[in-house]
Structure 1
Amino acid sequence: MHGTVSDTDGDRAWVFGYGSLIYKVDFPILDRAEARIDGWARRFWQGSHDHRGTPESPGRVLTLVRSPGTRCRGVAYRVSHEVFDHLDHREKNGYARYRLPMEMLDHEVSTTEGVIYVAEEGNPAWLGPAPIDEMARHIATSEGPSGPNADYLHRLADALRERDEVDEHVFELDRRVRALRGESA
């Protein structure tokens, strides 16, 4: 039966992944579903001082920006509340938790409220928009404790393609970074 539920049922909540949470699930989950949120778009506008770059040379990672009329597809995970300790640490570099409605695409519940991590303008790691070639050069040359910034981008682009999700911002950066690094798609 389809319906609407709260983001919390006792000690559980839904978390929406739109970036590395799509392909790097390093936490226990109770359930998963393909999901979508409306009015938000992925952008490589957030700095990464702790994973894909360093404090002296931050990499570029995703955040969501408000974009009326846009739909962002990702993966929703049902988790126990204790998982938020891990997620808060993982998303600590300028991200805040938001609660937004999600459309569940392959689940018995059609809509629910979920937790989403968003880094907004004004946070200490914010890099903001830049010309696409500048962002590609930045990503192609950045590296941090979690590895090359380009690997984050490529793994995300591949995960989106596997889900038949078209994201021109991600795909254009992926093409340009691969070209800069002499890699094929």
Structure 2
Amino acid sequence: MKPQDIISGKSSLWIFGYGSLVWKPDFKYKRSEVGHIKGYKRRFWHGDNFHRGSDELPGRVVTLIEDDDAATWGVAFEVSGSQVEESLKYLNVRETVCGGYVTKMVDFFPDGENEPPVSALVYIATSDNTLYLGPASPEEIGAQIAMCRGKTGHNLEYLVRLAEFMRNSCPHVEDRHLFSIEAAALTVVSYLLAAQ
């Protein structure tokens, strides 16, 4: 389903970000809330040959994998009026430039006390994308991230900024997948710097 079909006739929309959107939305929005969605886990299982990698060395970025027992923390942005169309137009290029993404409406639970959930749009990279890399050990993923760079910047920046967001905005959440990959990638970088 296309984002335009989901929000047809709506004057406002929430968009949930769980990767680079948490620290670099790059679109205008009315307000943002830290919180989580249920039923999904964040994994560095998607390849990127544009923003954070190349055809020769694809980087790794996050996608969501269905898991009934999991929750994924991130940021939801409320867009309204002309921001709705503008943000979707922008995100269609940014999030689906490589294809293989689907959009879904999910319940987003803000972190604030007594705040009700809101319905939010989320972009998910699927396994039928040719760039989908699938699972690997934290060491393998970390080493790959440490070596890759794309048009938007180094893959390591993407990883470290996401980890920083989790530590600063969600300090009560232990994201083992994310933090183990960060540790592995930084170990590779330290080794490479020491070898110079």
- Same fold flag (TM > 0.5): yes
SS at match of 1:124: coil
Aligned with residue 81 of structure 1, among 84, 106, 114: 84
Percent of pairs with identical residues? 33
1:18 counterpart residue number: 18
How far apart are residue 71 of structure 1 and its match? 1.2
Q: Distance in 2 between matches of 1:88 and 1:56?
A: 25
Aligned to 1:105: 111
* Residues 161 and 7 of structure 1: CA distance in aligned 2, closer, same or farther (over 3 Å): farther
Looking at structure 2, the residues matched to 7 and 30 of structure 1 have their Cα atoms a distance apart, in angstroms, of 17
How has the CA–CA distance of structure 1 residues 31 and 84 changed in structure 2, closer, same or farther, with 3 Å as cutoff? same
Task: Please give the alpha-carbon distance, in whole angstroms, between the structure 2 residues aligned to 1:159 and 1:33.
Answer: 13
**Quick one: distance in 2 between partners of 1:124 and 1:84?**
24
Name the aligned partner's letter for residue 51 of structure 1.
H
| Equivalent-residue separation in structure 2 for 1:28 and 1:67 (angstroms) | 31
1:170 paired with 2:178, answer yes
* Deviation by residue 1:100-122 (Cα, 9 ceiling, x = unmatched): 11112228751111100100111
2:135 alignment partner in structure 1: 129
Q: Which residue of 1 aligns with 2:194?
A: none
Q: Which residue of 1 aligns with 2:187?
A: 179
TM-score, normalization by structure 1: 0.89
Is residue 40 from structure 1 mapped to residue 40 from structure 2 by the alignment? yes
Count of residues paired in the alignment: 178
Letter in 2 for 1:57: L
CA distance in 2, matches of 1:107, 1:144: 40
Specify the code of the residue in structure 2 equivalent to 1:42. Answer: R
SS of the residue 1:84 aligns to: helix
Q: Does the CA-based 8 Å contact 1:48-1:59 persist in structure 2?
A: yes
Could you list the structure 1 runs, at least 4 aligned residues long, displaced by more than 4 angstroms after superposition.
6-9
Residue 65 of structure 2: aligned partner? 65
How many Å separate the matches in 2 of 1:160 and 1:23?
10
Quote the RMSD (CA, aligned, Å). 2.0
Which structure features the higher share of strand residues?
A: 1
